[in-house]
């Protein structure tokens, strides 16, 4: 094993953990939907897609053999997190301003037209309104928690790249 690949070990472990956390968050959202009856809105579904993409790119990154290929996956993770930030921030705004709509009429057919809505409708089909307030979890709404998770991902992945690779050049 080369020195370069040994340096990437912590980075790959971080990506694996990130992927598992994202899958756990999707599982939590499904639990809240199925067991607690909290219907997902269009922005909720878009946040699920962002989590799924982060997990997918993170797991692909773990399997990559070279620094460059891992970096490509990490960039895709960050771009997916930025997409999640946009959806979650909009959702937080709507929850703070209930008179504002999430555009259910506009977004719903688009989101429901995405491939996973047909393959796994329970998990990826719109069934609710963005302005519906659900009980907070540890003082924050789900949209606020999602925003925190996406921001942390968008910040920590580049920090990890920098930290893990600055000594290898």
Percent of the chain with pLDDT over 90: 40
pLDDT of residue 1: 46
Tens-place pLDDT, residues 13-44: 989 999 999 999 999 889 988 898 888 888 89
Question: Model pTM?
Answer: 0.86
Positive or negative torsion for Cα 28, 153, 53, 98: positive
Within 8 A by CB and 6+ apart from 69, the residues are 61
Judge whether residue 104 has pLDDT over 80: no
Secondary structure letter of residue 128 according to DSSP:
S
Average pLDDT over residues 114-135: 81
Give the integer Cα–Cα distance in Å for 112 and 145. Answer: 24
Name the average pLDDT for the chain.
Answer: 84
Query: If you compute the radius of gyration of the chain from its CA atoms, what whole number of angstroms results?
Result: 17
Domains, the chain: 3-165 (1.20.1550.10)
3-state helix, strand, coil in the chain (%, to 5): 75, 0, 25
Judge whether residue 79 has pLDDT over 70: yes
Q: Give how far the C-alpha of residue 69 lies from the chain's centroid of Cα atoms, to the nearest Å.
A: 21
Give the integer Cα–Cα distance in Å for 154 and 44. Answer: 19
pLDDT of residue 103: 56
Tens-place pLDDT, residues 63-75: 998 888 898 999 9
Secondary structure letter of residue 137 according to DSSP:
B
Looking up tokens 């999430």 gives: 102
DSSP string, 13-81: HHHHHHHHHHHHHHHHHHHHHHTT-----HHHHHHHHHHHHHHHHHHHHHH--SHHHHHHHHHHHHHHH
pLDDT of residue 164: 67
């Amino acid at each position: 094993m080369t020195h370069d690949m040994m340096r990437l070990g912590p980075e790959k472990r971080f990506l694996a953990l990130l992927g598992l956390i994202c899958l756990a968050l999707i599982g939590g959202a499904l639990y809240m939907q199925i067991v607690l009856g909290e219907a997902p809105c269009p922005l909720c579904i878009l946040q699920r897609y962002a989590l799924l993409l982060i997990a997918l790119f993170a797991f692909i990154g773990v399997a990559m053999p070279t620094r460059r290929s891992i970096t490509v996956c990490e960039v895709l993770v960050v771009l997916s997190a930025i997409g999640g930030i946009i959806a979650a921030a909009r959702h937080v705004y709507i929850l703070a301003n209930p008179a504002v709509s999430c555009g259910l009429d506009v977004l719903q057919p688009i989101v429901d037209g995405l491939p996973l809505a047909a393959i796994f409708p329970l998990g990826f089909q719109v069934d609710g309104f963005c302005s519906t307030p659900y009980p907070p979890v540890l003082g924050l709404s789900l949209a606020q928690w999602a925003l925190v998770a996406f921001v942390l991902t968008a910040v920590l992945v580049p920090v990890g790249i920098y930290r893990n690779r600055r000594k290898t050049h």
